[in-house]
Amino acid sequence: MENQVTRILHNTFLDNYLFDYNSSSLLIYYKGSFSNKVLEKIGKFLKKDLIPFPRLNKKIFAIFIELAQNIGRYSSEANFFGQSDNHNTYNEGIGSFALYETPNTYVLSTGNLVNNYNTKKIIDSFNKINTLDYSELRKLKKEILNAPKVHLQKGANIGFIQIALKSEKPIKFDIQDINTEYSYIVLTFNIKKNAAK
Amino acid sequence: MQQNNICSLKDLLIKRSGNDFFIPNINFSAKTGKCIIEGESYLEEAFEFYDNLAEWIKEYLSINSSIEIIFKLTYFNTSSSRSIIDLFKLLKQYKEEGKAVKIDWYYENPDDGDILIEVEDFMEETNMEVNLLSLK
């Protein structure tokens, strides 16, 4: 269940992070849970030549899936369907997602709640990714793919590296404290329209 | 000469469908050892799905001496790439044990999905040979 604070933050996401309506056009905006069904629907919508360049289309689709699955899995705000425990067992993490277009780029942006005990780790990860160039990122990705699995590892742990490889650097991220337990994180990724890679 | 024991191992057939939208189509033949992984793969947690494939491969190679894995994936998420590299490692192990293991990877031409970069990474990390074949 969404409380008032997060509702305000999700709306602020739209206002603050999708600014500059004159020079950009919104293609997709979604706020809610990132369940498989939602991914399927948005994914299908994306694939229907929303972006008329196959390479860009695939890039955006790939980034969308990684972002959406991260929110579904890790967002601290989730659908509980009346359960009383705290487990996000349905992968229905809640967040906001926007895809918009400027004259030279496509922009993907997400917003979701995170637990404060994770924020330092997240900030460190993005800062690290932002210091690495393409070949260093690719090397790091291979290292992690090759490493033994950690306890309870769910994914491949390379989602953001993969996104960094497919978008412009630096990755923009903004984390706002909500209270002692939670913060709200907004991520923004840019893809140049004429990107060869 | 390939020995085909008439035993419990059946073909492994998995079809992508309404509820299982994120899985590739699987067609593993217990008769010929031709194993096709085709379509897209974007399970959130790919381990269970691919472990299932690995188990079939292990069982097949316990009674046969050669196998051919054919990848025709046009997209896979990072969760799947971990599972795919683990599969490569398993196959490499069998190759080193003397089994005839062949991996074919079909890619789209042009490679708009940047799939070849991923496969190159898999090949490098596992030292496993892969035949790269254009779909067109």
Residues A65/B44, Cβ–Cβ less than 8 Å: no
Interface of B with A in 32-91 (CB under 8 A): 42, 44-45, 75, 77-79, 81-82, 85
* Residue of chain B minimizing CA distance to A73: B44
* Residue of chain B minimizing CA distance to A59: B113
Compute CA B79 distance to the chain's CA centroid, rounded to the nearest angstrom: 15
Residue A30 has pLDDT above 60, yes or no: yes
Q: Which tens digits make up the pLDDT trace of A42-84?
A: 999 998 878 888 899 999 999 999 999 999 988 998 877 666 5
State the smallest CA–CA distance between residue B3 and chain A in angstroms.
34
> Hey, are the CB atoms on B77 and A69 less than 8 Å from each other?
yes
Distance CA A76, CA A94 (A): 8
Of B75, B78, B117, Cβ closest to residue A156: B78
Nearest to A17 by CA among A155, A150, A110: A110
pTM value is 0.90
Complex ipTM value: 0.90
Residues A188/A165, Cβ–Cβ less than 8 Å: no
Nearest to A111 by CA among A182, A4, A14: A14
> Hey, are the CB atoms on B121 and A73 less than 8 Å from each other?
no
Residues B3/B64, Cβ–Cβ less than 8 Å: yes
Residue A90 has pLDDT above 80, yes or no: no
Task: Name the burial class of residue B72, with classes exposed (0-12), middle (13-18) and buried (19+) by CB atoms within 10 angstroms of its CB.
Answer: middle
Least confident segment among A88-92, B32-36, B47-51: A88-92
> Hey, are the CB atoms on A156 and B114 less than 8 Å from each other?
no
State the smallest CA–CA distance between residue B92 and chain A in angstroms.
14
Least confident segment among B2-6, B16-20, B98-102, B132-136: B2-6
Q: Which tens digits make up the pLDDT trace of A140-176?
A: 999 999 888 877 777 768 999 999 999 998 999 999 8
State the smallest CA–CA distance between residue A37 and chain B in angstroms.
9
pLDDT at residue A85, as a whole number: 58
Residues A17/A109, Cβ–Cβ less than 8 Å: yes
Residues B99/B106, Cβ–Cβ less than 8 Å: no
pLDDT at residue A1, as a whole number: 42
Residues in B closer than 8 angstroms to A54, CB to CB, are 110, 112
Distance CA A41, CA B121 (A): 31
Does the beta carbon of A195 lie under 8 angstroms from any beta carbon of chain B? no
DSSP state of B120: H
pLDDT at residue A80, as a whole number: 72
Dihedrals φ, ψ of B11, to 5°?
A: -60, 145
Residue A34 has pLDDT above 50, yes or no: yes
Residues in A closer than 8 angstroms to B125, CB to CB, are 142, 145-146
Of B112, B114, B125, Cβ closest to residue A145: B125
Q: Length of chain B in residues, anyone?
A: 136
Residues A154/B76, Cβ–Cβ less than 8 Å: no
Provide mean pLDDT across the span B37-47: 93
What is the three-class DSSP state of A60?
helix
What is the three-class DSSP state of B134?
strand
Strands (E), chain B: 12-14, 25-28, 34-41, 66-76, 100-107, 131-134
Amino acid identity for residue B127 in this structure: N
- Percent of chain A, pLDDT > 90? 55
Neighbouring residues of A177: CB distance < 8 A, sequence distance ≥ 6: A116, A183
State the smallest CA–CA distance between residue A20 and chain B in angstroms.
31
Least confident segment among A23-37, B14-28, B68-82: A23-37
Does the beta carbon of A69 lie under 8 angstroms from any beta carbon of chain B? yes
pLDDT bin (cut points 50, 70, 90) of residue A88 is: very low
State the smallest CA–CA distance between residue B77 and chain A in angstroms.
7
Neighbours of B12 (CB within 10 A): 18
Distance CA A79, CA A72 (A): 10
Distance CA A157, CA B136 (A): 33
